[in-house]
Each structure stands twice: as C-alpha cells, then as structure tokens.
Structure 1
C-alpha cells in the first residue's frame, strides 16, 4: 500500500530531478522511492556515505547542504500543520 509524503526541495533540484526521471521513463515519486529504498537497505554512518550523495551532487548546483530540523512532538507537528493552513 502506498503512503503519501510531503517533502520540500529546492526548485532547481526538483526541475532537474523531473528531467532525470522523465529521461529514465520513471515517475518522480518512484525515483524518490527507489532512492529511499537504496538508502535504507543498509546502515550508513553519515549522509555522505549514502549512495544517493553522488546523485544529489550531480543534480544540484553548488555545494550540497543537508538541512536538519529539530524533531518535534506529534502534537506540535500537527498543530503547526493546521495553523499553516489558516
């Protein structure tokens, strides 16, 4: 069963990823699913060890920057989501 997921990416990365997906006859959703499957298939010690790191570097312009947001409670995340919809 598929699940929906909301992600945020730089617009340039999205455009290049869509072009890459189209050139490889795969939807962007399935491409991301494939990459996440590859990443989670093994245990990696850092983000730079991910097999996707080289691909991200290819489609991104400039230095790759990984942004992490602090974890919030489920309730806080839910409140934030609903307040952003107002």
Structure 2
C-alpha cells in the first residue's frame, strides 16, 4: 500500500534527481522509495555510512555535507524557535 509524503528539497537537486530517475526508467517517487528501503532494511551507525553517498554527490551541487545538530531537548528547541 502506498502512502503519500510531503518533502521539501532544493529545486536544483529535484531537477537533477528527476532526470536521473527518468534515465533509470522510474519515477522520482520510486527512486526515493528505493533509497528509503535500502536505509530501512540495513543498519547504519551514521548518515555517512549510507550507501547513497555517490548518488547524492552526483545530483547535488558540490559536495554534500551533513551537519548534525547538537543534541538539545525538544522543549529548548521549541523555545529557541519562538525567539526568532
């Protein structure tokens, strides 16, 4: 059963990802599903271990960079977001 999800990405990344998916003969939705399935079916200790790094680098402008957020409480995050 398919479930709809709304995600936001950089417009240029989406254009390149759509072109990549089209060249592979699949939709962007199916490509995204394949990537999420690979993540969900395997255990990875960090985001850097994910097997999609080459694909991300191919569709991204420049080197993709993951900046982990420092751990804070949800309550603190909420209050900080309200100050802005």
State the TM-score, normalized to the length of structure 2. 0.75
Find the counterpart in structure 1 of residue 29 from structure 2. Answer: 29
Moved over 6 A (4+): 67-72
Find the counterpart in structure 2 of residue 75 from structure 1. Answer: none
The structural deviation recorded for 1:61 is 1.2
Based on CA coordinates, which of the two structures has the bigger radius of gyration? 2
Aligned pair count reads: 74
Question: CA offsets per residue over residues 30-62 of structure 1, 9 Å max, x none?
Answer: 000001101111110111100112210111011
Q: Which runs of 5 or more structure 2 residues have no equivalent in the other structure?
A: 75-84
* Higher relative contact order structure (alpha carbons within 8 Å, sequence separation ≥ 6): 2
State the TM-score, normalized to the length of structure 1. 0.73
